[in-house]
Chains A and B, each alone.
Chain A
Amino acid sequence: QLQLQESGPGLVKPSETLSLTCSISGDSIISPNYYWAWLRQPPGEGLEWIGSMYYNEDTYYNSLLGSRVTISADMSKNQLSLKLNSVTAADTAVYYCAKHPQAPNFESWGQGTQVVVSS
C-alpha cells in the first residue's frame, strides 16, 4: 500500500530556503504515467498546488510561485524533494506531497508537515 511521508524543519526564517522531503513507500517514484506533487494549505485558507514532477523527472510549477520553487527526486532513495527559496510569512502552511495521474485527481496524499516562517 502506498504511503507518503513528508519531513523537514518546522520553522524557517524569512528569506531563507524551505526544504522538504517526501519519502515514498509501497510504490516507485518512477511509476509510469504518474506524477508526484507538492501542495500546501495556509492556515484558514484553501489548497494550493505548488508543482508536479513526472516519472521521467519533467517538472511543471505553479507560476504564481515564480522561480522560487524546485522539485526534484532522489531515485535511489525513492524520495521527492521540495525547495522553496526566499520564503516569507505567506509561505507558512501545511505542506503535502501527493500522487496523481495526468488527470487532476490527487489520489494519494501524505499526512502533511507544518512549516512556519518566522524569525
Chain B
Amino acid sequence: QSVLTQPPSMSAAPGQKVTISCSGSNFNIGSNTVSWYQKLPGRAPKLIIYENDKRPSGISDRFSGSKSGTSATLGITGLQTGDEADYFCGTWDYSLRAHVFGPGAKVTVL
C-alpha cells in the first residue's frame, strides 16, 4: 500500500492534455520536493520532472509539474502515442525515512 495516491489510469486523444495527480501528506509531499518518472514497458524509468517543476535536459516542455500543499500534479500537453506509459510520482517520507513512490498512473492515448 503506497503512501502516495495516484489515479490508476487516464486517457485522452492525441493532441489533448492530461493531468495526473499525486496526493500525499505532510510527512512526504508537504515536506519535500516531488519528482515524476515515465516508465515505458520493458524500459527503465526516466526522470521527467524534479524538484516539483523542473525538467531535466532533453525533456520536452510538453511535460510540466506543480506542487501545492500535500499534492502534486504532472501535466502532459499535446499528447502523443509515444507518451503512452506509466507515470510515477516520488518523494521522501520523513516518517518512514524512505524514498516513496506512487502506485503509478497508466496513460493511454486514444
Contacts and interface: CB of A to CB of B under 8 A. Distances in A.
B107 to A, nearest CB: 15
Interface in A93-119: 96, 103-107, 109-112
Interface size class of B (residues with CB under 8 A): 20 to 34
A64 B99 CA distance: 12
A27 interface: no
B98 A106 contact: no
A86 interface: no
Contacts of B47: 105-107
A11 interface: no
Interface size class of A (residues with CB under 8 A): 20 to 34
B35 A46 contact: no
A55 interface: no
Nearest to B99: A49
A76 interface: no
B109 to A, nearest CB: 21
B54 to A, nearest CB: 9
Contacts of B45: 47, 96, 106, 109
B101 interface: yes
A110 to B, nearest CB: 6
B97 interface: yes
5 contacts: A45-B103, A62-B98, A104-B32, A109-B46, A112-B44
Interface of A: 37, 45-49, 52, 60, 62-64, 96, 103-107, 109-112
